[in-house]
A and B are shown apart, each in its own frame.
Chain A
Amino acid sequence: MPLTTAKSTGTTTSTAPAAGVRGAALDLDAVTIKFGDFTAVDSVDVSVRAGEFICLLGPSGCGKSTLISAIAGFEKPANGRIHLEGQEIRGASLDVGMVFQSSEALFDWLTIRQNIEYGPKMRGVAKKERQALADEFLSLVGLAHCADQLPRQLSGGMRQRAQIARVLANEPRVVLMDEPFGALDAQTRQVMQQELDRIWRTSGCTVIFVTHDIDEAIVLADRILVMTAGPEATIKSSYDVDIPRPRDEAGDEAIALHRKLREDIGAEVRKALQGQGLTQEGS
């Protein structure tokens, strides 16, 4: 509790959403993704409301990343369709932004500011507007003081914030996040979760967030979708999370939900481990 109140995120949420950034609804209809004969994801049906924050939760290697790669347009579903506000997604699009787990996704030879300006520059936004956009999102993620540094000069948490700013500066309607805090230490991760919660409420875009961390999902999500262990992974169950924000993962409701999710996901983790030739005994 003291941690979240100290952040005083209340003031930022009351301000109007950033200009032009709005969530879009997303419909996945019997989406199946194959690599040759291998079926990674098997007929997933999900409807995401505009502005909703979804967490995809599941054991490592279950196909969560594959599924959002398809939403980003990097993989083509073998069957089924993905619609964004009624438009079918075919290939990468400006409406869908992606924050990658690895900060290798940043362009090392460009400064943080240049990284953030990359998207607007590619679509021909004038220099002055680009700078204004970069300034806005640099301060949103709290990186204004290192705008002119190269990614390698920043810490892991700062690099991930830079990635988030770069995606948001492009004003996408859906932001996909593939375990963006997976490589961070526990403390940094907790601060980043609170920051993301604040940024998401400011921007108002739809978020699909992949994680295998139950607490992370509880702190962030409107709705948690649990996936089965791959191959042929699909959505196993769905949990609405209506704990008021900003959330405390040590609160009573959160702990109760954690217990339910752990039981639900435990079966899948055991299946996944068996799939990898390991058996869990005596626990």
Chain B
Amino acid sequence: MTLAETKPAPARPASDKSRRRGQKPNMTGSLRRGGLFIVSIVLGLVVWQLVASHFGPALVASPSETWQGAADLWADGTLWQSIWASSRRIFIGWALGVVVGAPLGLLMGRITIVREILDPYIEFFRFIPPIAFVTLAIIWFGIGESSKIVLIFYTSVFVVIINTISGAVSTDETKLRAAASLGASKSQILRTIVLPSAIPHIVTGARLAMGNSFLTIVSAEIVAAQEGLGALIWTSRNYGHIDWVFVGIIVLGALGFLFDRVLRVCVRPLRRYGVKV
């Protein structure tokens, strides 16, 4: 009796405490995170404003000038056109890089002859930055879309290949043996065991390739591009429109952030393959 009565008594204050501890920190936690984000942005704007007023509009566009520039570019359609043109090039070039790089990586990872034949070229070209190929790309592929897409493809494909190889090489030996003794042929093993095991590595490669694509788009659009964020930055500089340069840079950063977020959402169904996002 006494036991039964004393038991719930200490339990109550404990649960009260845990409720206080359990709920409030969660709310304050997200509030604080949101608050810190705003503080960070405001601080950044203040510093930017100070720097801008110190150096003057010829060197640094102030936040308000940049905002005005963005509004002007948006109003005449240039900004949207630039975003669309660059996004399209990045997406096509990057997707080609993944689609070509992943199968090549799988083959290189599992078939020694393929690896030994291709490896020297992979190891050679991956150290040459795409900007070194800008002129050649224009001579070979013209001033149209293809030269830009080829450069984005170039910057994506190696990082996808190298990551896929490391995934294919580290396929669990027990799984390979199990598949073989269950009657799978070499090509069936590649498709049903090596590919699924390499998916987390392929996703990592694809995300790194996305970053590379954004680094490359500006150089791809240096020469002979009519539209695109890179072209916007370069032509605005020629016109002395520092504010538009700022708009181009900021939009590029925001776009990259957005693309990565979208990619992370898109690979969520791959979780059963061990993809962590």
Contact = CB atoms under 8 A, between A and B. Distances in A.
Contacts of A123: 183
Contacts of A118: 179, 182, 184, 192
B206 to A, nearest CB: 18
Contact of B183 (A102, A109, A119): A119
Contact of A100 (B174, B183, B184, B273): B174
A92 B177 contact: yes
A167 B196 CA distance: 21
A170 interface: yes
Given A104-B174, A107-B193, A170 B182 contact: yes
Interface string B100-119: 00000000000000000000
A100 B178 contact: yes
A163 to B, nearest CB: 8
A127 B249 CA distance: 54
Contacts of A106: 178
Nearest to B270: A109
A62 interface: no
A122 B175 contact: no
Given A104-B175, A107-B175, A109-B273, A92 B180 contact: yes
Contacts of A102: 174
A243 interface: no
B181 interface: yes
A182 to B, nearest CB: 14
Given A170-B182, A170-B183, A105 B175 contact: yes
Contacts of A97: 181-182
A108 B274 contact: yes
Contacts of B226: none
Contacts of A92: 177, 180-181, 183
Contacts of A74: 177, 180-181
Given A104-B175, A107-B196, A109-B196, A122 B183 contact: yes
A87 to B, nearest CB: 16
A108 B178 CA distance: 13
Contacts, number: 66
Interface residues of B, number: 19
A150 interface: yes
Contacts of A93: 181, 183
A9 to B, nearest CB: 28
Nearest to A166: B182
Interface in A70-115: 72-74, 91-94, 96-98, 100, 102, 104-109
Given A105-B174, A108-B272, A150-B272, A72 B192 contact: no
Given A100-B174, A104-B174, A108-B272, A122 B181 contact: no
B177 A98 contact: yes
Contacts of A119: 182-183
B185 interface: yes
A92 B181 CA distance: 5
A122 B274 contact: no
B53 interface: no
Contacts of B182: 94, 97, 118-119, 122, 166-167, 170
A162 to B, nearest CB: 12
A122 B192 contact: yes
B188 interface: yes
A97 B183 CA distance: 9
A57 to B, nearest CB: 23
B172 interface: yes
A282 to B, nearest CB: 40
A73 B178 CA distance: 11
Going nearest first, the 6 A-B pairs with the smallest beta carbon separation are A119-B182, A92-B180, A105-B178, A92-B181, A122-B184, A105-B174
Interface of B: 172, 174-175, 177-185, 188, 192-193, 196, 272-274
Given A72-B181, A107-B175, A107-B178, 18 more contacts: A73-B180, A73-B181, A74-B177, A92-B183, A97-B182, A100-B178, A105-B174, A105-B175, A105-B177, A107-B192, A108-B273, A108-B274, A109-B273, A118-B182, A122-B184, A122-B188, A123-B183, A150-B272
